[in-house]
Amino acid sequence: MKQIVFLLLWMPFLSLTAQDHSEIIKEIEAYRAEENEKFGNEETTILEPKDFKEFKELDFYPINLDYRVEAKFVRTPDEKPFLMPTTTSRLPEYVKYGEAHFSVDGKELVLNLYQNTDLTKEEGYEDYLFLPFTDLTSGDGSYGGGRFLDARIPEGDTMVIDFNKSYNPYCAYSKNYSCPIPPKENDLLVRIEAGVKDFGDH
């Protein structure tokens, strides 16, 4: 009898977890469809003409919710603005806003989160955070120049980082763009096999 009651108590939890996973996967799939639509639309694509002509869809790693992590969010309010290097001579001003502490494959990791000081003055971007990173797939499956993630400032001291939504800088598709170079402190010594893969030899 106790075993039956235990199972009944757990069934709603298991159902909710499965439902949550299903909804998260649908959300990631919708994000990917949106990206493919953007790249495959002549009006919104950033692809060069020769690549656009052959474009079918972006190449993504399989969706893996192990790379969707809950991180401890630590604010770093006393940081000074700095000029972030890019692939050109452009030097946009950023400031480190905080740190995300989390684990992947049993390794404790930290990512710095940045704010573009100019972008914070634009409506809708006051709480925008930028997460540029490299990992052990950089140049070995994913774009060698690293990948990016977007986030919003959380209200509390935790945040979700979903590497399944990591995307390439525009420079992965065309040399006509100026892209931030991920700072060395955001080099993750693990393979993040999630998100978009390298576009190829461009």
Looking at the structure, do residues 45 and 5 belong to the same domain, yes or no? yes
Averaged pLDDT score across all residues of the chain: 91
Within this chain, do residues 140 and 70 fall inside the same structural domain, yes or no?
A: yes
Counting residues of the chain whose pLDDT is more than 70, the rounded percentage is 90
For residues 98 and 19, state if they share a domain: no
* Phi, psi for residue 36 in degrees, rounded to 5: -65, -35
Residue 6, SS3 per DSSP:
helix
pLDDT above 50: residue 7: no
- pLDDT score of 15: 39
Q: Give the CA dihedral 188, 108, 113, 94, nearest 10 degrees.
A: -50
Q: What is the token pair recorded at 13?
A: 């939890």
Residues 49 and 69 in one domain: no
* Per-residue pLDDT at 18: 54
pLDDT tens-digit readout, 131-153: 999 999 999 999 999 999 999 99
Question: Which domain-ending residue is among 42, 58, 74?
Answer: 58
Q: Give the model's pLDDT for residue 3.
A: 44
Question: What is the average per-residue pLDDT within 92-121?
Answer: 97
Q: Are residues 2 and 16 in the same domain?
A: yes
- Closest by alpha carbon to 97, among 151, 135, 170, 145? 151
Q: What is the pTM of this model?
A: 0.88
Q: Tell me, yes or no, whether 73 and 38 share the same domain.
A: no
Is the per-residue pLDDT at 4 higher than 60?
Answer: no
- Span 85-90, average pLDDT: 96
For residue 202, pLDDT beyond 50: no
Domain of residue 18 covers 1-58
The stretch 168-176 carries a mean pLDDT of 95
For residues 27 and 54, state if they share a domain: yes
Same domain, 30 and 99: no
Torsion on CA atoms 198, 132, 65, 61, rounded to nearest 10 = 0
Please name which of 17, 111, 18, 20 lies closest in space to residue 71, comparing C-alpha atoms. 111
Helices (H) and strands (E) in the chain, counts: 2, 7
Same domain, 164 and 196: yes
Q: Which of 20, 38, 58 is the last residue of a domain?
A: 58
168 plus 140 within the same structural domain? yes
Type of residue at 178: S
Same domain, 50 and 128: no
Range with lowest mean pLDDT among 7-11, 32-36, 42-46, 65-69: 7-11
Pick from 32, 58, 84: which residue ends a domain? Answer: 58
As a whole number of Å, the end-to-end CA separation of the chain is 64
Round to whole Å and give the CA distance between 186 and 109: 9
Provide CB contacts within 8 A for 128, sequence distance 6+: 115, 116, 119, 120, 150, 151, 152
3-state DSSP call for residue 89? coil
Does the pLDDT of residue 179 top 60, yes or no? yes
pLDDT at 10 > cutoff 70: no
Number of domains in the chain: 2
Which position has the token pair 């009651």? 5
Same structural domain, 91 and 37? no
β-pairing, 68-75 vs 147-152, is unpaired
**Rounded Cα distance, 104 and 190, in Å:** 8
